[in-house]
Chains A and B, each alone.
Chain A
Amino acid sequence: MSYALIVAEVRRGVFEERNLDSVGLAALLGKETVLFVPEGPYQIPEKIADTIVRAKTAEETFLNPLNLTKMLEQIFAGRGKPDYLIFTQSSSGMECAPYSAGFFGLPVITDVSAYDKDKGIFYKSYYSDKVFGEFKPAGGAAVVLTVRSGSFKECAAERSVAAKIEELSGIAETEGRVFIEYVEEEKSDIDITKADFLLSVGRGIGNKDEIPAYEDLANKLKAVLSGSRPVIDKMWLPKPRQVGTSGKTVKPKVYLAMGISGAFQHIAGMKDSDCIIAVNKDTEAPIFQYAHFGIIADIHKVRDKLKEIVNG
């Protein structure tokens, strides 16, 4: 049978919104959609799939590549292999998709952000969105995909009837990889999600010694200082100041990004800001595609000039 199988993500009892991007891509692909979910008391929009298969297992055991591939094997035994096995480009998707591809001997294309139906081509980012590769599975074979969040949500059309519900039981849990517990982020005095004005710095600042000068600018502008992931990875700023998918999602009135290229994991965390201003020396930096205003210049010079004007 010809179908697309979506492995949905449920985290802490919430059916993640990014699943709708997988649903949207499945709709574009024009296949019968089977949504595979773990057990739990969460809500799923009932009309987003043709069939919903509920695994009789909790979210923590479900999003475990070792358990998941065994469950998929059970599903495939009943329905045959799907034409498309779809995950989201997220922590668990990035773990389970390649593992499933290896396990079932299927090809894989990750971080898919567009699909050309006529040509059967998937668009995948290379070099942090500076170039895109047009890929297809060789010989039109079945393929594993991960979907960039925000890319296909609008294509997720409601069906006229609620999905058929099926149950998958008799699930064997592996000893090879066992969930122990969730670990919360350390608490912080500063909550960047509450700020009206964020001055956010990226790897472009060059080194840690530059931080005080940006802190000073932030203070003068009454902005709160935040950063992209590399700035936090290098411990130039503390983790609670990170903007992006693996950090905080922020929606300030103004987001001033200095020396940030605009990787999708960063964009996903700030794209709903009222006003985005980007300063970068690279005219091709992807962030200019999402910003409302842009300045092409050396950030240190902009920083020093702003301070000079503000100091009067």
Chain B
Amino acid sequence: MNILVFTKRVAATQEEELRIRDEGAAVDLSKVPFKINDWDNYSVEEAVRIVEKEGGTVTAISIGDAESDEVLRRAIAMGAKDGFLIESDAVMHDPGARSRLILNFIKKENVPFDVIFTGVQSEDDQFGCVGGILGAILGLPYSSMVIGIDAIEKDHMIIRRELEGGLQERVKLAVPCVLSIQSGINEPRYVSIMGIRKASKVERKVFKAADYPAENAPGIEIVRWTYPAKKGGATMLAGELDVMCGQLLGILKEKGVYQ
């Protein structure tokens, strides 16, 4: 089974203070560290596990600037055979534009595949759309929130997808198909610095996004960036650590959950 897996390098903003620049025109990411999108880590792992069992190859593909080579090396260290970078210096905020770029790339380069994996969403923009749009424009079956692959046959797969509140549904999908993988589907392997260094010796191919122009489909535009509206917020406890912790215990007592 040949699997294409899309992987993205994203800003790790969870612990960072983000500043908006130029009156809303841009978000300043110059001091923010970057990493592999968490969801893609799970989908690369899932793809590698499948080919380890069933045979075939995993090809990791990333759209982004030259730095995105980092996530390709990482995927190769995990077990992908090839890494393709579709280089684009401009950030593409519109997921539709990204999906159409992928479609044109796959067609023009004649990239063979049985299954395409994406993560459910990327941590930065949280659009969660590239896989679904791609499935539709390729005319293939699609499923998102995939939390288990129970069986793989020549012409179909049995998967489990996550619904709400711990409920799942089991679904049969014809192959070829596109799947968006949910976090927690597996336990991604550890990737060592040594492994990544070794992976650097495997050649990665670089393509230019401009060579795969999409026809003019209606898109979305970003008008500007803003900070979230403040909702009133919490009463902040202040002072030394023991003072704050004392106050916290006081609140627990007052609420009657701790004596």
CB distance from A152 to the nearest CB of B (A): 14
A268-287 vs B, CB cutoff 8 Å, 1 = contact: the mask equals 00000011111001111010
B1-33 vs A, CB cutoff 8 Å, 1 = contact: the mask equals 000000000010111111010001001000000
Q: Which of A253-312 contact B (CB under 8 A)?
A: 253-254, 256, 261, 274-278, 281-284, 286, 288-297, 301-302, 305-306, 309-310
Contacts of B233 in A (CB 8 A): 288-289, 291, 294
CB distance from A303 to the nearest CB of B (A): 9
Contacts of B132 in A (CB 8 A): 65, 94-99, 101-102
CA distance A182 to B166 in the complex (A): 11
When the two chains form their complex, are residues A185 and B166 in contact, meaning their CB atoms are under 8 A apart?
A: yes
When the two chains form their complex, are residues A99 and B164 in contact, meaning their CB atoms are under 8 A apart?
A: no
Contacts of A179 in B (CB 8 A): 169-171
When the two chains form their complex, are residues A246 and B252 in contact, meaning their CB atoms are under 8 A apart?
A: no
Neighbour of B141 across the interface among A100, A176, A203, CB < 8 A: A176
When the two chains form their complex, are residues B228 and A302 in contact, meaning their CB atoms are under 8 A apart?
A: no
Contacts of A100 in B (CB 8 A): 136
Q: Give the number of residues in B that approach A within 8 Å (Cβ atoms).
A: 95
Name A's interface SS. Answer: mixed
When the two chains form their complex, are residues B166 and A310 in contact, meaning their CB atoms are under 8 A apart?
A: no
The yes or no answer to B83 lying at the interface (CB within 8 A) is no
When the two chains form their complex, are residues B171 and A126 in contact, meaning their CB atoms are under 8 A apart?
A: no
When the two chains form their complex, are residues A177 and B142 in contact, meaning their CB atoms are under 8 A apart?
A: yes
When the two chains form their complex, are residues A134 and B169 in contact, meaning their CB atoms are under 8 A apart?
A: no
The yes or no answer to B57 lying at the interface (CB within 8 A) is no
CA distance A150 to B140 in the complex (A): 33
Contacts of A77 in B (CB 8 A): none
Neighbour of A178 across the interface among B13, B142, B171, B235, CB < 8 A: B171
CB distance from A58 to the nearest CB of B (A): 13
Contacts of B177 in A (CB 8 A): 176-177
CA distance A107 to B241 in the complex (A): 50
Contact (A91, B162) CB under 8 Å given A184-B167, A283-B17: yes
CB distance from B257 to the nearest CB of A (A): 4
Contact (A235, B237) CB under 8 Å given A94-B120, A126-B27: no
When the two chains form their complex, are residues B183 and A121 in contact, meaning their CB atoms are under 8 A apart?
A: no
The yes or no answer to A106 lying at the interface (CB within 8 A) is yes
CA distance A286 to B217 in the complex (A): 35
When the two chains form their complex, are residues B11 and A296 in contact, meaning their CB atoms are under 8 A apart?
A: no
CA distance A12 to B169 in the complex (A): 11
CA distance A289 to B230 in the complex (A): 7
A59-101 vs B, CB cutoff 8 Å, 1 = contact: the mask equals 0100001100100000000000000000000111011111111
Contact (A254, B255) CB under 8 Å given A126-B125, A292-B235, A296-B236: yes
The yes or no answer to B68 lying at the interface (CB within 8 A) is no
Contacts of A26 in B (CB 8 A): none
Contacts of A90 in B (CB 8 A): 164
Contacts of A281 in B (CB 8 A): 15
CA distance A110 to B144 in the complex (A): 15
Name B's interface SS. Answer: mixed
Neighbour of A233 across the interface among B131, B161, B171, B184, CB < 8 A: B184
CA distance A253 to B254 in the complex (A): 11
The yes or no answer to B197 lying at the interface (CB within 8 A) is no
The yes or no answer to A164 lying at the interface (CB within 8 A) is no
Q: Which of A165-186 contact B (CB under 8 A)?
A: 174-185
When the two chains form their complex, are residues A98 and B218 in contact, meaning their CB atoms are under 8 A apart?
A: no
Neighbour of B136 across the interface among A103, A234, A275, CB < 8 A: A103
The yes or no answer to B92 lying at the interface (CB within 8 A) is no
Contacts of B96 in A (CB 8 A): 101-102, 107-108
When the two chains form their complex, are residues B234 and A292 in contact, meaning their CB atoms are under 8 A apart?
A: yes
When the two chains form their complex, are residues B166 and A69 in contact, meaning their CB atoms are under 8 A apart?
A: no
Stretch at the interface among B108-116, B200-208, B243-251: B243-251
CB distance from B22 to the nearest CB of A (A): 14
CB distance from B219 to the nearest CB of A (A): 5
CA distance A275 to B11 in the complex (A): 32
When the two chains form their complex, are residues B169 and A183 in contact, meaning their CB atoms are under 8 A apart?
A: yes
When the two chains form their complex, are residues B126 and A110 in contact, meaning their CB atoms are under 8 A apart?
A: yes
Contacts of B20 in A (CB 8 A): 131
When the two chains form their complex, are residues B173 and A177 in contact, meaning their CB atoms are under 8 A apart?
A: yes
Contacts A134-B224, A292-B235 given; 17 further ones with Cβ under 8 A?
A: A11-B167, A92-B163, A94-B144, A95-B132, A106-B218, A107-B218, A131-B225, A134-B223, A135-B223, A136-B221, A177-B171, A178-B171, A197-B257, A230-B38, A254-B251, A288-B236, A302-B244
Query: What are 12 A-to-B residue pairs whose CB atoms are below 8 Å?
Result: A65-B136, A91-B144, A94-B120, A99-B142, A121-B223, A123-B226, A126-B126, A127-B13, A135-B221, A136-B220, A138-B220, A178-B173
Nearest 3 A-B pairs (CB), nearest first?
A98-B132, A102-B136, A233-B184
Q: Which residues of B contact A (CB under 8 A)?
A: 11, 13-18, 20, 24, 27, 38, 42, 93-96, 99, 120-121, 123-137, 140-145, 158, 160-174, 177, 180, 183-184, 187, 217-237, 241-242, 244-246, 248-249, 251-252, 255-258
